[in-house]
């Protein structure tokens, strides 16, 4: 059996590895357009900011590892240019030469790409693929005053790093507060205040209408001086290769079933290139995040090799960090609940993250959303200096298992004065929603 994987990121390499585990005898080939595989785009803002100097730390495992330890053929600088799904053929450019590759099973893991800010403006820098991280770092180092466009997770992280590098930073966001797509107002406003307090010039409710050599014009007519513009206005599925060959979903990514099959039973898609079902609404949902890429890759790989693993769906567990405080959300926020037509109730609490006598820590805020009629938890947001990802994970498990606020209240969350409270903030937020 010939298994061909297109894309050597998290999803593609996870798929290839699990296909190997399931089918020791299969021939497995991965095509990767760039020179880096098994990479971590999540580290790119921190590489730009100089948090670490060794670029290759962005790569978890190298080509040699996959060849020698997993018997997987990995071709780098190898771009799939044409795909004929019915004939089971891919035409690729491998090191400058065109090559025809046949497959029995295909896994498409081509990821996402940045949305363009203004039509292909060469003066705008996009922070995305690790392969471009070095150029982005050099451009950032050379700049004095930078405008970052987009106040989502990436924009916030890049703005923080630039500020740490000593740059003057403008952060332009069209929403009413930072991370307004993910966070509700309470947590989003706290993040915005923190960014402003850290000296970042945050401009809200405006968009960029023009980029000149030395300044940016905003939609309200004002100008910002800047010798570098970094756009972080979102991503879109990278699906040009499969357009017209595989069915796309309403979000423009490859539509898959629970086996990660895409249109045909011998074609699979995983990671940012695919869209799946939201676990709360049951509706198609696109959530381009690393843990989803890893797990959907596993499912695609196992099934391409003849197994039968099922992917349950996604929640959108998103976390960022600004100046030592993490902000995250999982499940639905208020806007998404309204859009889904769900009547909901909320609770929000702020406590210290540690016992009052234990040094360190800070405030932690937990917000929960529950369906009004049933009390079932449908979303949560957490901000704080520690244990944020773990608390979001507990809320994620509660949503996934359709727990009510009462169920979540009784989840036994451990306690030690160094990193929590005997009444954990998640438990307290659930208690507010409990029916007594």
Strand, coil or helix: 339: helix
Residue listed under structure tokens 């659930």: 430
- What gap in Å lies between CA 105 and CA 35, rounded to an integer? 24
Q: What's the Rg (C-alpha) of the chain?
A: 23
Tell me the site size for ligand FAD, rule CB under 6 A.
35
- What gap in Å lies between CA 99 and CA 102, rounded to an integer? 10
Does 183 engage in binding with ligand FAD (CB under 6 A)? Answer: no
Q: Near ligand FAD by CB under 6 A, which window of 38-46, 164-172, 188-196, 261-269?
A: 38-46
User: Do residues 381 and 333 lie in contact, with contact meaning Cβ atoms separated by under 8 Å?
Assistant: yes
- H or E element at residue 291: helix 290-304
Does 330 engage in binding with ligand FAD (CB under 6 A)? Answer: no
Taking the complex as a whole, the smallest distance from the CB of residue 17 to ligand FAD amounts, in Å, to 12
Binding mask 153-172 for ligand FAD (x = CB under 6 A): -x------------------
Q: Which is nearer to ligand FAD, 10 or 19 (CB)?
A: 10
Taking the complex as a whole, the smallest distance from the CB of residue 37 to ligand FAD amounts, in Å, to 7
φ, ψ of residue 319 in degrees (nearest 5): -135, 140
Q: Near ligand FAD by CB under 6 A, which window of 16-24, 106-114, 179-187, 220-228?
A: 106-114
| 258 alpha-carbon distance from chain centroid | 20
Does 290 engage in binding with ligand FAD (CB under 6 A)? Answer: yes
Helices (H), 42-152: 44-48, 63-70, 133-142
Taking the complex as a whole, the smallest distance from the CB of residue 434 to ligand FAD amounts, in Å, to 31
Does 151 engage in binding with ligand FAD (CB under 6 A)? Answer: no
Question: Catalytic annotation on 42?
Answer: yes
- What gap in Å lies between CA 405 and CA 269, rounded to an integer? 35
Q: Which is nearer to ligand FAD, 291 or 312 (CB)?
A: 291
Figure out which of the listed residues 272, 275, 336, 424 binds ligand FAD, where binding follows CB under 6 A: 272
* CA distance to 180, 184, 194, per residue, from 336 (Å): 11, 10, 25
Q: Near ligand FAD by CB under 6 A, which window of 19-27, 259-267, 270-278, 426-434?
A: 270-278
User: Do residues 190 and 180 lie in contact, with contact meaning Cβ atoms separated by under 8 Å?
Assistant: no
CA atoms within 13 A on the CB side of 117: 28
Q: Which residue of the set 42, 89, 94, 345 is catalytic?
A: 42
Q: Which is nearer to ligand FAD, 290 or 345 (CB)?
A: 290
Does 396 engage in binding with ligand FAD (CB under 6 A)? Answer: no
- What gap in Å lies between CA 68 and CA 88, rounded to an integer? 27
Does 128 engage in binding with ligand FAD (CB under 6 A)? Answer: yes
Does 208 engage in binding with ligand FAD (CB under 6 A)? Answer: no
The contacts of residue 90 (CB under 8 Å, 6+ apart) are 4, 6, 31, 80, 82, 83, 84, 100, 101, 102, 103, 106
- What gap in Å lies between CA 83 and CA 60, rounded to an integer? 29
Q: Near ligand FAD by CB under 6 A, which window of 118-126, 176-184, 268-276, 324-332?
A: 268-276
Figure out which of the listed residues 19, 109, 211, 299 binds ligand FAD, where binding follows CB under 6 A: 109
How many other CB atoms are there within 10 angstroms of residue 68's CB atom? 10
Active site residues: 42
Q: Which residues form the interface with ligand FAD (CB under 6 A)? A: 6-12, 31-34, 41-42, 44-45, 79-80, 109-112, 127-129, 154, 238, 241, 271-273, 288-291, 293
């Amino acid at each position: 059996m010939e298994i061909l994987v297109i894309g050597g990121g998290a999803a593609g390499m996870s798929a290839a590895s699990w296909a190997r585990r399931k089918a020791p005898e299969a021939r497995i080939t991965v095509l990767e357009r760039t020179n880096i595989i098994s990479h971590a785009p999540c580290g790119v803002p921190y590489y730009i900011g100089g948090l670490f100097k060794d670029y290759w730390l962005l790569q978890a495992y190298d080509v040699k590892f996959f060849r020698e330890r997993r018997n997987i053929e990995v071709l780098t600088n190898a771009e799939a240019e044409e795909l004929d799904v019915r004939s089971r053929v891919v035409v690729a450019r491998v090191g400058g030469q065109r090559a025809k590759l046949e497959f029995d099973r295909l896994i498409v893991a081509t990821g996402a790409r940045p949305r363009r800010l203004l039509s292909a403006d060469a003066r705008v820098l996009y922070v995305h693929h690790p392969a471009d991280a070095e150029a982005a770092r050099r451009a950032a180092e050379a700049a004095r005053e930078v405008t970052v466009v987009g106040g989502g997770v990436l924009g916030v992280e890049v703005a923080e790093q630039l500020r740490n590098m000593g740059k003057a930073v403008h952060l332009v966001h069209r929403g009413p507060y930072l991370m307004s797509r993910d966070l509700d107002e309470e947590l989003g406003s706290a993040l915005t205040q923190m960014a402003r307090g850290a000296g970042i010039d945050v401009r809200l409710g405006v968009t960029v209408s023009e980029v000149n050599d030395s300044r940016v014009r905003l939609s309200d007519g004002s100008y910002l001086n800047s010798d570098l513009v970094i756009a972080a206005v979102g991503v879109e599925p990278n699906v040009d290769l499969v357009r017209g060959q595989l069915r796309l979903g309403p979000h423009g990514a490859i539509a898959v079933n629970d086996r990660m099959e895409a249109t045909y039973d011998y074609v699979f898609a995983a990671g940012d290139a695919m869209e799946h079902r939201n676990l709360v609404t049951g509706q198609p949902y696109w959530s381009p995040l690393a843990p989803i890429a890893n797990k959907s890759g596993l499912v695609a790989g196992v099934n391409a090799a003849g197994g039968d693993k099922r992917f349950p769906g996604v929640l959108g567990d998103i976390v960022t960090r600004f100046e030592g405080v993490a902000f995250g959300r999982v499940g639905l926020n208020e806007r998404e609940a309204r859009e889904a037509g769900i009547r909901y109730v909320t609770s929000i609490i702020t406590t210290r993250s540690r016992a009052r006598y234990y040094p360190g820590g800070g405030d932690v805020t937990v917000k929960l959303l529950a369906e009004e009629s049933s009390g079932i938890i449908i979303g949560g947001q957490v901000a704080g200096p520690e244990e944020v990802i773990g608390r979001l994970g507990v809320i994620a498990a509660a949503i996934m298992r359709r727990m009510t606020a009462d169920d979540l209240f009784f989840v036994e969350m451990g306690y030690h004065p160094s990193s929590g409270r005997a009444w954990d903030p998640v438990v307290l937020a659930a208690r507010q929603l409990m029916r007594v």
